[in-house]
Each structure stands twice: as structure tokens, then as C-alpha cells.
Structure 1
């Protein structure tokens, strides 16, 4: 068996196909022993790539984009989450929400674990014709602190992970006014990337990894979440089972997990968001940043 270690920026429901592929033996069928770790702080995933501890990092594609031609050459080769696993919480009912009412308001969103949340929400504002400069942001604190302060009356809106938003809304005092897995459109939210260009041997290893990951996605698509509720609670013991089931169902029904192929349309959209966030000077062409070879067989079979 060939070891394949994933260093991840988090432990998250939107990474579910990887956990399924491990549990169901799909990686083992490809002669891979896949393990994972979540270093703290999150940017130590780059150290794991540099020292050879990890075969791949799992996180936002904005990191390889930002580093391109500036520092490490980080090469994305597969996608696991194709929607933003976030929600916007407000104090009004969802039916009363309007994007055009946001100018002049204050939005809370975490900034302690990377740039994805802020980049994404500000991209959505621009897509709705709203200048982010017309909105006040509090985003230099962690999500747990901001959630507590929001419930206590700070700010007008809170951007948070979707399972967390379900939990807060169920407790009362706020409502999900935008569920981004449902209403946010396609985006390569979470990708696997490696250090430097791959030789033929590494491409082959990544290809069989992608093949097993596809089986994990297919396994999820073929089942209602209730049929594997025990597995979900074992992997995510801190979340109530009803929240896990609802979030997993939403992700499954809204194309979160369909293919390891990095979606070109979603990629182009996200590159505009990353560029508008000033992390890159201009969008990077798809095949300049990504290596399409590990998913080529999946593309041909589609």
C-alpha cells in the first residue's frame, strides 16, 4: 500500500467524500493508505508540503493562486467541494431579505482561518451590484466569538459556516437569509494541491486518489443521509445529528459533491473574486494554475 497523507486546513462536513472513501475502502482498493491531519495554525499545511510530510494539502484555491510566481509553486489537481459551505444570518425573515438593504449595515465574518469567507462574501456583493466599501465589516475575530456577539446584538448580519448557521437559527433570535450552498452558485471552494510540478509517477498516484474520491462522491449521491447518520455522528461528534443530516442533504441536493474535476466555470468566477480581493493582480488561466491530468480519465468518462 502506498501512503498518501493529506494535510488539511480544517475538519469539515464539506470534506465528507474523503472520509467516506477512507471508511468504505475506496482508497485501499487503489492501493492507497490515505491519512489526514489538521495542523494549527492552518498555514502549517504549507510546511507539511515543503518537508514532504504530506502528499497533498486540502484547502482554498486562493492560496495556490496567491503564491503563484511569488513564492511556492502550489499546483491544484482536484476539487472536493463545489459550493461555498456558508450562510448569511440576519435578524429578519428570509422572505424579507434584500441585498440592496445591506449598504450602511455591519456584517460580521471570521478572518482568523484564512481569507475565503471575506473574499467570497465580497464577491457576492459585487455580483449583486453592491460596493463592499459601503458596508461595515468586523472580520478580525474568530467565528465562535463573533457568533456570540451577534446573538448579543453586535452588527446586523453574520457570515458563518452552514452547519453552524443551522444551529444558531434553530436556537432562535436569527434567520438564515442566504444559504450559499443553495443560492451561491458553483465555486471550487476546497481543492487538493501539491508542491511543484508532478512527474508521471505522482500524476498516476493523484489520478487513483481522484478515482477513489469520485467513488466517495457517488456513494453519497446514491444514499439519503439518514442511512449513514451513525457515520456522520462518529466523524462529527460535536454537531447534533439533525443538523448534520440537514446540512448533508442540502449539500448533496445542490451539487456540492459531484466530481473531483475542478470546474472551469466556477474557477473563472472565483478567480475574479480573488483578483478583486487584491490577492492576485489578474485572474490566472485555468491550465496555468491547475494540473488537469489527474482528473483527465474522469473527464473522459463523464
Structure 2
């Protein structure tokens, strides 16, 4: 009996030592939950997203964010619908287009990133003063038909009593990637550009920023995080963690200078001087382009549909509650 007890004690001691050894070896942090994000383009306009990654706000929520740039609304939505991504960052109008196709698994907007248009009106010649009437009779290099930049641009022009179809020559047959090059080569009197291209042209004397389409179009859900309804049902807790990390970044961006923000997001724009990034961030902050929280409100949703309708691109008006889920954002900001 004594021999059995002694053997049992030795076995217990060995098991205890082994368990302590295993605990000591397992000193790494718990495995993070992966979430795949497809962004429509790489843009300083999306600064809060990069801040959330670089400042570790997503990691604090236990998430491993895999960010992919899909370069175009169609490609971004294809990635989402084909399960190539869990979440898409793209314009809210895309959810309306998908809904019009009577999808059995609709795409739902759950967190807002930007709340204004992000483009600027750039003139070839710097005027002593700018008046929207100066666009009449001019040649205008616009964005892709049916895309939010073009629709917001036309909306802003119409506000000043100008018919973009009859009062000027609108060029829309140039690929997005080549619009800036076309203008630099001498095509057009005016062009609608995103940053940092607009500010870069101004620095180089190629063109001059004379107006902001973001200021003209008002608040809209210009760029939002969205996902399939089925993904929300199965991964709501993951999306809540993601949105909480995003909200931390939104607050950080709001409470820090353009210089500080530029320094944080600079790794995402290796070919852009940090001073230019700072200029662009300051321009977007000054016109309140970055959403202060992830909640997409109904007024913004209705403004979006008004802009789409005036552009002749609204398939059918969609109720706010059908394609917008604010429960995740509301819980995240508590």
C-alpha cells in the first residue's frame, strides 16, 4: 500500500510539474479573431480606418484585421458577395443597387466612416474669384456615371442653377485611374478630383482647387462598412468589436491634429510626402468629412437617395430600416 501511495504521489507531482511547464510555455496572447475588410480604394479619406489599425484599437478588441484594397465599387461588392471578404468599405449607394437585384441576402450598412463627398473642383486657370457660373460653356472631366462622386458632383453643380448636361461639356469616358493624367495632359477646363491628387496639382501649378463638392452636397453616408445580412446574424459580436475599435479611432482623429494623424497613417501612403498627407487631412477635418461616430442616421440616408434620384440613378427608394442596421454602432459607442 505504501508503495502504491508513493507511486501515486510521484505521478501526481509529475503531472503538476508538466501542467506548470505547459502554462509557462503558453505565454502568448490569446489567438485573435480574424476579419477580412475589402476597401474600395486606398485613400487618405479613410484615415480613421488606418488609425484604428496602427494605434491597435482593433487589436484591443481581440481582432486581427486583414485589409485588402479592391480598387473599384464593382470589384469590392463582388468580393463581399462571393465571400472573398467579410466586410466591404464602399459607398452606401452600392447596397441600394444590390437590393434592386432582389438579393436573397441583402447587404447591410452597419458603420459609417465618412459623411461628405471627398472630391474637389479643380480649375486649370486660377481665377481672381470663383463663381459657379464660370463652369458654363466649359469642358468638365467628371467621374464614373452612377458612382457617388459623379452624382454628388452633379448635385453640387445643380444647386447653383447649372445644368451639367446642357450648360457644359461633360466628359465621362475616361477610366478613374486616368482622369488626373488626362487633365494634366491638357484635357478639360475643370476636373473633379480626390485628394491628394487635387492638392498635388495645386502644388505643381497644374490646377487650382476652387470648390469642395463635400461642402456642396451636405452630409451623406459617403463611405460605410457593410456586410451581408447572413454574416451579421452569425457574427454580430465580431462586428460589435470591430465597430468599437473604429469608434475609438474616430474619437482619436477628432481630438488630434492633422500633423499627428498624418504621421500615424503615413505607412499606407509611402509615395506621398507626409506634409502633403497633413494638408489633405486638415482639409477633410475642416469640412467635417470624417464621421464623428459610426451611426448612419436617417437624414443622411434620405439625402443620399435624393442625390441618386436627381442623377437618375435611383432604382427604387429604399426605406432606411431595410438596408441600415444601427444596433451594432449604438452598442459599440456605449
Deviation per CA, 1:105-152: give whole Å up to 9, x if none. Answer: 22102329x712211111112232322222211122134533233234
What corresponds to 1:120 in structure 2?
152
Q: Does 1:19 align with 2:53?
A: no
TM-score, scaled relative to structure 2:
0.81
1:20 is paired with a residue whose SS is helix
- Runs of 5+ in structure 1 lacking a partner? none
Deviation per CA, 1:265-290: give whole Å up to 9, x if none. Answer: 22211111112223323432211221
Which stretch has the larger CA shift, 66-75 or 167-176?
66-75
| C-alpha distance in 1 between matches for 2:177 and 2:80 | 29
What corresponds to 1:149 in structure 2?
182
Match of 1:2 among 27, 33, 37: 33
1:89 is paired with a residue whose SS is strand
Change (3 A) 1:127 1:225: same
Contact 1:109 1:143 (8 Å CA) reproduced: no
Q: Moved runs in structure 1, 4+ residues, more than 6 A?
A: none
Match of 1:160 among 193, 208, 216: 193
| C-alpha distance in 2 between matches for 1:103 and 1:179 | 18
Change (3 A) 1:296 1:230: closer
What corresponds to 2:62 in structure 1?
31
1:124-143 matches, cutoff 5 A:
124-134=156-166, 135-143=168-176
| C-alpha distance in 2 between matches for 1:288 and 1:275 | 18
Contact 2:156 2:216 (8 Å CA) reproduced: no
Instruction: Give the deviation of 1:97 after TM superposition.
Output: 1.9
1:132 is paired with a residue whose SS is coil
TM-score, scaled relative to structure 1:
0.89
Deviation per CA, 1:180-218: give whole Å up to 9, x if none. Answer: 345543221111111235555433322221111010111
What corresponds to 1:295 in structure 2?
329
| C-alpha distance in 1 between matches for 2:162 and 2:43 | 30
1:1-302 matches, cutoff 5 A:
1-39=32-70, 42-72=73-103, 73-93=106-126, 96-111=129-144, 115-134=147-166, 135-182=168-215, 184-197=217-230, 199-257=232-290, 258-297=292-331, 301=334
Which stretch has the larger CA shift, 144-153 or 63-72?
144-153
| Alignment root-mean-square deviation, CA | 2.3
Instruction: Give the deviation of 1:63 after TM superposition.
Output: 0.8
Instruction: Give the deviation of 1:160 after TM superposition.
Output: 0.7
Task: Determine which structure has more spread, i.e. the larger CA radius of gyration.
Answer: 2
- Runs of 5+ in structure 2 lacking a partner? 1-31
1:96 is paired with a residue whose SS is coil
| C-alpha distance in 2 between matches for 1:266 and 1:126 | 19
| C-alpha distance in 1 between matches for 2:242 and 2:296 | 14
Instruction: Give the deviation of 1:255 after TM superposition.
Output: 1.9
Instruction: Give the deviation of 1:167 after TM superposition.
Output: 0.4
Contact 1:207 1:293 (8 Å CA) reproduced: no
Deviation per CA, 1:60-87: give whole Å up to 9, x if none. Answer: 1111111214143211111111121111
Change (3 A) 1:223 1:103: same
